[in-house]
A and B are shown apart, each in its own frame.
Chain A
């Protein structure tokens, strides 16, 4: 079945949506779609069927999100830890992914009409080569779309993502693009797989488990976390509304906490820049201490230089990533 559902919302769904939208709405929601296997057990069907129904529920949820004005959704489809499952189940999941991404490639017109941009986050090198190529094609084909965004975490764990970001920054240092002192919280965030997205406002985990399971640990530090006991294939529009309501109740406190955190980040950066300038002046220095005005001038000059270095580095990183996807997707064409 399709990734895009054309079905219009019912009257009561529209009414509820409009009431909720009178308050603050999350712009980016992340889902841990847990409970497919327990659902399969409950419904006395095969596990594979449970996963398949899980995908159907994803497509439905995307439609609800769009109607609520939520234009970015990130989902945890497959964890690196899931490779530990039986070969049968892993192969089944890979096959499901193949089907869905192939299907996606046939729906390009529809995707363009709705402006859907698909991104896949994770260590794709861990996946079978043909799936890597399919994914690359889907990502490249929808890259320019900008009305709504679906980020699929596949072969992903947050720790791998963070370690990879550190590696990318180390690459930047190795290439002479940035200095180790340029490494900051903001820069690390820009090197994650999710760098093209803002942090999720709301994270929803279904099936009653109350842990993050290595999902977006960095990005959800100040997000609203909602744990719901419903199994993913049974998720309803009302469950989503409940989660949004919870977000609205925590909104003021979260805004305050995020503002406090941003202030701290800025202060941290300023302190870091100040100490770098002090070190530079010491090295350059001829013993004469600079007056406050000159020090300030040096600080501004240093900050501008750092920002330029970082900008060039991030461009190079984006180019490197785009090239990987383009190469992978063009391989598929040749084959």
Chain B
């Protein structure tokens, strides 16, 4: 009997696997079909004979001009958007594109996270990619946008620009529970040295200690990329009211995917307990 159930379970999961694979396949092929149609019809409609760059960047450059205007059409924009990559293989170019689109749409703080610390270890590579994508995607508008990178742990600015419009920050699991533990140790030491009493320890005090080290507001929205349904240790203290929107993958992600998620966020209603 147990064997029968196990077979049924395997069959069920095989079906789900096939369904997921089909959905992913359709996602890629419908996009390619769309691009082909646009690629054919647009130049015909505008009478342009030269086709601009094709390939992976094609869908990104076609969105170049609208970004700023798009941001203004949304009812609300997150002040801080977190990009949570749960996939094992990370494509820096795609992540950089996401960051640049967020900047273009008008999001002030963008953070990037993965639970293996890949972004943290490759901070400079990510920065380079972001600057590259800024040029490529925003083209002649790129001078209007400037990005400030905050290094993890310290607030040394890696890349200083004159007018800051967006702040990009990289997080890893050390910024989550471990930060809370460090704040706890600090408070315990203060109690040991009689600088503080037990009454001085509350949510507000802990929150301001944690805020000090991060220097960034709580994320309003987290976009989770990949099939893993978990926050994987991303800033547990800070995500108390964060909307978590899942997207299938960050690989070959399009601006439309991002904007769709932002539209969904704009319609969320936060009652804050009331």
**B237 interfacial by beta-carbon distance below 8 Å:** yes
Contact A173 B274 (CB under 8 A): no
Whole-angstrom CA separation of A188 from B177 in the bound complex: 10
Contact B184 A169 (CB under 8 A): yes
- The secondary-structure label for the interface of chain A is helix
**B16 interfacial by beta-carbon distance below 8 Å:** yes
**B53 interfacial by beta-carbon distance below 8 Å:** no
Interface centre among A20, A179, A211 (most CB of B within 10 A): A211
How many residues of B are counted as interface, with CB atoms below 8 angstroms from the partner's CB atoms? Answer: 56
Contact B9 A163 (CB under 8 A): no
- Residues in A with CB closer than 8 Å to B233 are 221-222, 257, 261
How many residues of A are counted as interface, with CB atoms below 8 angstroms from the partner's CB atoms? Answer: 62
Contact A257 B232 (CB under 8 A): yes
Contact A180 B189 (CB under 8 A): yes
- Residues in B with CB closer than 8 Å to A301 are none
- Residues in B with CB closer than 8 Å to A170 are 187-188, 191, 196, 198, 201
Contact B12 A223 (CB under 8 A): no
Beta-carbon contacts of A194-238 to B below 8 Å, as 1s and 0s? Answer: 000000000000000111111001101111111100000000000
- Of residues 241 to 278 in A, which have CB atoms within 8 Å of B's CB atoms? 245-246, 248-250, 253-254, 257, 260-261, 264, 268
Stretch touching chain B among A78-86, A142-150, A285-293: A78-86
Partner of B236, one of A209, A221, A250: A221
- Residues in B with CB closer than 8 Å to A248 are 13
Which B residue's beta carbon lies closest to that of A252? B228
- Residues in B with CB closer than 8 Å to A179 are 192
Contact A221 B177 (CB under 8 A): yes
Which A residue's beta carbon lies closest to that of B9? A22
- Please judge, given known A-B contacts A23-B13, A159-B207, A217-B236, whether A225 and B181 are in contact too, CB under 8 Å: no
**A311 interfacial by beta-carbon distance below 8 Å:** no
Partner of B115, one of A180, A225, A260: A260
CB distance from B240 to the nearest CB of A (A): 4
Which 6 pairs, one residue from A and one from B, show the smallest C-beta to C-beta distance? A81-B273, A22-B9, A180-B188, A22-B6, A214-B240, A253-B228
Interface residues of A (CB under 8 A from B): 18-23, 79-85, 157-160, 162-163, 165-167, 169-171, 173-174, 179-181, 183-185, 188, 209-214, 217-218, 220-227, 245-246, 248-250, 253-254, 257, 260-261, 264, 268
